Structure 1
Amino acid sequence: MEELFFYWFSQSGPFSIFVSIILNIVISIFGVIPSVFLTASNITFFGFETGIFISYIGECVGAGLSFLLYRKGIQYVKHPIPANSKYLNKLMRSKGKEAFILVVSLLLFPFMPSGLINLGAALSQISILYFTLASAVGKIPAMLLEGYSVKEVLSWEAEGKVSLFIASLLILVIYWLIKRKQKGV
């Protein structure tokens, strides 16, 4: 996927920054696609600092637009949407300053999908202004951590990347087995 993004950037010329931001918006709206591949492409194509900044801007704009779309779409849902996380449930019942703090806090959790946070916030009573500010604040450390991690992985030799892939696959299999056992299958 990274190669595809890199190709689009190289073909876009002076509009490559806008292409990256639009891709980040699309990723944010879908809510389940990891942005790490786009961040890796941005770092590779634009350099570390510029790539991180472009990813940050794209994620902030994407979060705001997805929040608005989710909130608009929720008006058509007739029944409540349950969440499996006590923190997301708390966010959905919150408003004002409490919702702001929860959005910032949830964005600091590694591996917490921002799409779920956007959806939880859209279900809450937080205003678009508070949500946008909370997203912008919460994404700073998350983006720096993601960017640094991507930079380090990109500098690894093939053996390190294969080891990371195997470790990730092993973690996913263990997680799947635990979930399966909990369901009693």
Structure 2
Amino acid sequence: MQEELVQILENYSSMAITISILINIIVSIAGVVPSVFVTAANLTFFGFWQGTLLSFIGETLGALIAFYLYRKGFKRLSHEKLKEYPRVNSLMHIEGFDAFLLILSLRIMPFIPSGIVTFFSAIGSVSVIVFFLGSTIGKLPALLMESYAVYQVTTVSVQGKIIMSLAACYGVFICYKNIKKKK
């Protein structure tokens, strides 16, 4: 998918910045599509620092727009469904500095999907400002780590990519064995 996006950016280079930001916004609204392919395309096309900055801008705007849309579309419906789950329901009422710290912490963790953080923030009682600040500040170190990792993978030789792929397959195999052992 990264190659296709780079191709689009090359074909429409005069609008590449706008296209990149719009795609990041769409990915953020979708909530389930990982943004790493957009980051990889941005790094490939724009270079490390400009690509990282564009990904940051796009993801930040995307999170804010998704927050607004999720709040308008899901808040009332979600509260009805969550009444059955008192522990989850109590999380929906976190506000202020506690909400800021929770959002910040979740954004920094690279394995927590952004869409989930945005969704639960939107259906909760978090203010837009608290969400924006926690999300934006937390997104910065997470995106820098993601950009660095993606950049390293994209600049590695074919032999290095094969070694990384084999190591990843081995890691998945070990996880599978451990899960199977626990059952």
Given that residues 27 and 33 in structure 1 are in contact (C-alpha distance below 8 angstroms), is that contact kept between their aligned partners in structure 2?
yes
* Larger-gyration structure (1/2): 2
- 2:2 corresponds to: 2
- 1:76 corresponds to: 77
Identical counterparts, % of pairs: 38
Give the length in aligned residue pairs.
180
Name the amino acid aligned to 2:100.
Answer: F
Check 1:62–1:163 CA distance in 2 against 1; reply closer, same or farther (3 A cut). Answer: same
- TM alignment of 1:32-51, pairs within 5 A: 32-51=32-51
- 1:159 corresponds to: 159
**Cα deviations by residue, 1:95-150 (Å, 9 ceiling, x for unpaired):** 11111111001111121111111112112211111111111101110111111111
- Alpha-carbon distance in 2 for matches of 1:131, 1:177: 39
**Cα deviations by residue, 1:37-68 (Å, 9 ceiling, x for unpaired):** 11111011011110000000000001111111
Secondary structure of residue in 1 paired with 2:82: coil
Q: Which runs of 5+ in 1 are unaligned?
A: none
- 1:13 corresponds to: 13
- 1:129 corresponds to: 129
**Cα deviations by residue, 1:68-119 (Å, 9 ceiling, x for unpaired):** 1111121234312999xx9x87753411111111100111112111111111
TM-score, normalising length: structure 1: 0.86
Q: Which runs of 5+ in 2 are unaligned?
A: none
What RMSD over aligned residues (CA atoms) do the two structures have, in Å? 2.5
Given that residues 91 and 102 in structure 1 are in contact (C-alpha distance below 8 angstroms), is that contact kept between their aligned partners in structure 2?
no
TM-score, normalising length: structure 2: 0.87
- Alpha-carbon distance in 1 for matches of 2:11, 2:83: 41
- Alpha-carbon distance in 1 for matches of 2:162, 2:83: 39
Cα distance, 1:13 vs. partner? 2.1
Cα distance, 1:22 vs. partner? 0.8
- Alpha-carbon distance in 2 for matches of 1:114, 1:177: 29
- Alpha-carbon distance in 1 for matches of 2:14, 2:168: 36
- Alpha-carbon distance in 1 for matches of 2:124, 2:26: 22
